[in-house]
Structure 1
Amino acid sequence: MADMDPTGGLWNWAAASSLPADRVHGALAGALERTVGPLEANTGVLCDVYHVGGDFPTVIDVYLAPENIAEATAASAVAVRLGVEIILPDDSLDPGGFVLAAPDGSLTEVVLDEVETDAGPERRLRRDRPAA
């Protein structure tokens, strides 16, 4: 399962709904118990939110992510707060491998097809990852 160890730096997620940046920032701030703002803000955690096509149209890039919180845990808490599914890359070598954080807080390994467009990555055709 994706990144169950704490990491710092960049988190790249996508949400299964078109969400405004201020709503994403609020949910992330609540989950992390830290101030979150847009890239141009002078806050501890920076978050860029933009929209693309596909089944997960809201891309959420989190910069200066805290090192003491596991990414999958944070994504799960944000999914609960927003009431939408969020995907994050898993730790497999499969480029289509993701972890799905559901609005109920659960985490599931899934496979997505990803196409790079001028607007950003579009992800489609979600399916559960077959058991190994």
Structure 2
Amino acid sequence: MTELWNWRIDRVPPVEVYPALAEALGRVVMPLAVADPARLPTYAVICDVWEAPGEFGTIVDCYGVPDRLSEEAGIAALARLLGRNCLLRDDTLDAGRHLLVGPDGTIRPVHFDLTETDDGEELSNQRLCTLDNPGCRGWSRCHRSRWAPDSVIPALAAA
């Protein structure tokens, strides 16, 4: 239970995230600000949600996530419950490449421009990761990912 899930959501008030996350994960979700480690149930997920600038400005950090649930399935359930697009980092180590998870459960790779601000990392200029983009062709990091350019995968198949 040491894994951290870090997601971004397309602008939703943090107060709406906690109950949706509890339903998506099937666990009690405790906000980090009020979580008392001495009094937490063993099955609780600790979560921090805050607003940042730019696209996908609602940020979610989850600690103590369920071992039995894949991250892709968890974020797909959250996207469906909120009716919003969500993002998670992909496996390329490219800071501007993410996985876009839609409310319909599809996952596709996307790119953003990143700007560091005093309020955190700001994402802008969303675009699909596609072979039409010269930066996604050939020997790019995109091809080292299990999420190849132009891929659209259902979340359950990705889990």
- The residue number in structure 1 matching 2:128 is 128
Query: Secondary structure at 2:109's aligned position in 1?
Result: strand
% identical aligned pairs: 39
Question: 1:30 deviation in Å?
Answer: 0.5
- Gaps of at least 5 residues in structure 1 are 1-6
Instruction: Write out aligned runs for 1:11-50 (5 A).
Output: 11-17=5-11, 19-39=12-32, 40-42=34-36, 43=40, 44-50=44-50
Cα distance between partner residues in 2 of 1:101 and 1:80: 9
Cα distance between partner residues in 1 of 2:3 and 2:24: 17
Which has the larger share of helix?
2
Q: What is the RMSD computed on CA atoms of the aligned residues?
A: 1.6
Considering Cα pairs closer than 8 Å and 6+ residues apart, tell me whether 1 or 2 has the greater RCO.
1
- Partner letter of residue 64 of structure 1? G
Question: 1:109 deviation in Å?
Answer: 0.8
- The residue number in structure 1 matching 2:94 is 94
Cα distance between partner residues in 2 of 1:74 and 1:100: 13
Cα distance between partner residues in 1 of 2:2 and 2:73: 13
Cα distance between partner residues in 1 of 2:98 and 2:2: 19
Question: 1:122 deviation in Å?
Answer: 1.2
* TM score, norm. by length of structure 2: 0.73
* TM score, norm. by length of structure 1: 0.86
Which has the larger share of strand?
1
Structure index of larger Rg? 2
